[in-house]
Amino acid sequence: MNVIYLIILILIVSINSFAISIENAVIKALENNYALKYKSKLVESKKFEYEASKANRYPSFIFDGKYTLLDDKKTEPFNTPFGAQDITILEKEYFEIFTGFRLNLYTGGLVTSSIEAKSHEQKIEKFKFLEEKNELIFKTKKAYLDILKLYSHKNVLEEYLKSLNKHLSDIKIMYEQGIVPYIDILQTEVKVEEVKQKTIDIENKIDVAKFNLATLMGVDDISFNVEDINNNLIFNLNLENLLRIAEENRAILKSFDENIFLIDSLKGVTKSGFLPKIYIQGGYQYSNSVDEVEPKGNFLIQVGINYTLEWSKPFYETKAKNSMKYALIKYKNDTKLKIFLEVQNAYKSFETAKKNLELAKTQEKKAKEYFRIIDLKYKEGLASNTDLLDANAMLVEAQMNIKNAHYDMLEKYFALEKAIGKELR
């Protein structure tokens, strides 16, 4: 019966929790993250604006209807050989309707430049989205690593607690035999409680870290578990190659290029203010403003020209855009240098993290050997309980340092991928 209860319990736990890999965590974040969805909709909005701007290339349909009511009909005297007569100029009330099409023949580059500007705005928003996506991928991976690191700390503490409990059990037996004093029991019990408190603190931190990852993934369920990461990293990296990849891939640099192109397009819009606009218009016009006039409806075609010069406004707007273009070029160069600095720092941090991991492994080997020797001495009465507990704590600290160094190396690797805007694996 106990076996059946155990099986049921295992099934319940397996249903209520599920394991997620770091790749799946990134996929979920890219699919569900609310901030990224917002950026995605901004890209979509700019796309629709670009498509809407193309409509200016084509004829526009016009329908204009008016109803007019005057205080009285308007007349004008007209002399004839038979006497003076009043001729109606406008009826007291009448309708006017025009329906047709209008096509811009020449706009001085206004339409073409406006479409190009919308195209660049769309690309700018897309590159902003890609930069946000790159940042989200790193944040998700880092949040995932934080959980793994905390679990590794918990595992170390649990093994430490087992070791202390076993030691405590041995001490109690030795105390009953009169080999060790009672103070050794108290000292070990204090250490056991200390480790229990640290374990509780770690468990709370795991929940907080899971909430952080869940927020990035756009979910509110933290019942998931995490899987360990395969160390399929590329260790032999070339800094010059990384800098080249960053310059080619970072979306923020591409957005600067599009911003510069946008300025050129907006200059075209501004310069069109110096030039006339020519259009052709045709359709059907109806008016019953004068009852005697027939026919009241006519088909017509018109060619028009419009020219409006707003004094020096286009001139100064062009100068303003030239200044903005110059500023963007300098800002792009500054951003590129900062990205190179980010890549260099990430590269150096990764190289340092690799060395730290090797040092931590050496430290653990020495701490393990030191604990083994102190343990033997303690059993022979040549070392105190304090010496043994200190040696055990030193070993645990060395094991923690390995975990920290391992996950720190992975984090630095992911930070390097973020810096260059591309996965290296």
Residue 328 token pair: 């963007």
Tens of pLDDT, residue by residue over 376-404, are 999 888 999 999 999 999 999 999 999 99
> Is residue 292 situated within a structural domain?
no
Domain span holding position 337:
18-61+107-278+313-420
In the predicted model, is pLDDT for residue 253 greater than 80? yes
CB 134 within 8 A of CB 251: yes
Average the pLDDT over 76-80 and give the result: 72
Residue 205 belongs to some domain of the structure: yes
pLDDT for the residue 15: 43
For residues 122-148, one letter each, b for 16 or more C-beta atoms within 10 angstroms of the residue's C-beta and e for the rest, the string is: bbbbbbbbbbbbbebbbbbbbbbbbbb
CA distance 260 to 332: 10
Which pLDDT value is given to residue 261?
95
d(CA 151, CA 138): 20
Q: Which pLDDT score, from 0 to 100, does residue 9 have?
A: 47
pLDDT in tens, 91-107: 888 889 999 999 999 99
Q: Which helix (H) or strand (E) holds 24?
A: helix 22-32
Task: Summarize the confidence of residues 358-379 as an average pLDDT.
Answer: 95
Region at 286 (left for phi over 0; alpha for psi -120 to 50; beta for the rest): beta
What lies within 8 Å, CB to CB, of 390 at 6+ separation is none
Tokens of 377: 């001495």
Domain count, the chain: 1
Q: For position 81, what pLDDT does the model report?
A: 67
Per-residue model confidence (pLDDT) at position 17: 56
Given pLDDT bands bounded at 50, 70 and 90, which one contains residue 4? low
Residue 10 scores a pLDDT above 50 = no
Mean of pLDDT over the chain: 90
Provide long-range contacts, Cβ within 8 A and 24+ apart, for 321-330: 321/263, 321/266, 321/267, 321/270, 322/267, 324/263, 325/260, 325/263, 325/264, 328/256, 328/259, 328/260, 328/263, 329/260
CA-nearest of 216, 169, 171, 49 to 121 is 49
Q: Distances from the Cα of 357 to the Cαs of 77, 375, 408, in angstroms?
A: 107, 26, 9
Q: What is the pLDDT of residue 350?
A: 96
pLDDT at 244 over 80: yes
| Phi, psi for residue 291 in degrees, rounded to 5 | -60, -35
Q: Residues 302-323, buried b or exposed e (16+ Cβ, 10 A)?
A: eeeeeeeeeeeebeebbeebee
Q: How confident is the model at residue 341 (pLDDT cuts 50, 70, 90)?
A: very high
Let me know if residue 86 belongs to a domain.
no
Compute the average pLDDT of residues 285-301.
85
Q: Compute the C-alpha angle 305/309/310, nearest 5°.
A: 145
* Other residues' Cβ atoms within 10 Å of the Cβ of residue 284: 12
Of 370, 391, 386, nearest to 180 (Cα)? 386
Taking 70 as the threshold, does the pLDDT of residue 30 lie above it? yes
Retrieve residue 201's tokens: 């603190």
DSSP string, 312-377: THHHHHHHHHHHHHHHHHHHHHHHHHHHHHHHHHHHHHHHHHHHHHHHHHHHHHHHHHHHHHHHHH
- Rounded distance between C-alpha atoms, residue 41 and residue 60, angstroms: 29
Q: How far is CA 178 from CA 175, 181, 187, 408, in A?
A: 5, 7, 17, 47
Residue 163 has pLDDT above 50, yes or no: yes
Q: What percent of the chain has pLDDT over 90?
A: 73
Q: How confident is the model at residue 11 (pLDDT cuts 50, 70, 90)?
A: very low
Q: What is the CATH number of the domain that holds 213?
A: 1.20.1600.10
Lowest-confidence segment of 62-71, 87-96, 216-225 by average pLDDT: 87-96
Query: Which residues of 215-334 form beta strands (DSSP E)?
Result: 224-226, 277-287, 297-306
Confirm whether 285 is domain-assigned. Answer: no
pLDDT at position 61 over 60 = yes
Residue 16 has pLDDT above 50, yes or no: no
The dihedral over CA atoms of 127, 132, 133, 139, expressed in degrees to the nearest 10, equals 160
| Residue 73 confidence class, pLDDT cut points 50, 70, 90 | confident
Q: Are 423 and 417 in contact (CB under 8 A)?
A: yes
Task: Tell me how far the alpha carbon of residue 37 is from its chain's centroid.
Answer: 9
Q: Kindly calculate the radius of gyration of the chain based on its CA atoms and give it in whole angstroms.
A: 40
Please check whether residue 146 lies inside any domain of the structure.
yes
- pLDDT surpassing 80 at residue 77: no
- Average of per-residue pLDDT across 281-295: 85
| Residue 10 covered by a domain | no
Residue 9 counted as domain residue = no
* Residue whose entry in the numeric block shows the structure tokens 């020209």: 305
Residue 12 scores a pLDDT above 50: no
Residue 22 sits at the vertex; the CA angle it makes with 21 and 23, to the nearest 5 degrees, is: 90
In a domain, 99, yes or no: no
Cβ(339)–Cβ(253) below 8 Å: yes
- Closest among 242, 217, 39, 234 to 137, alpha carbons compared: 217
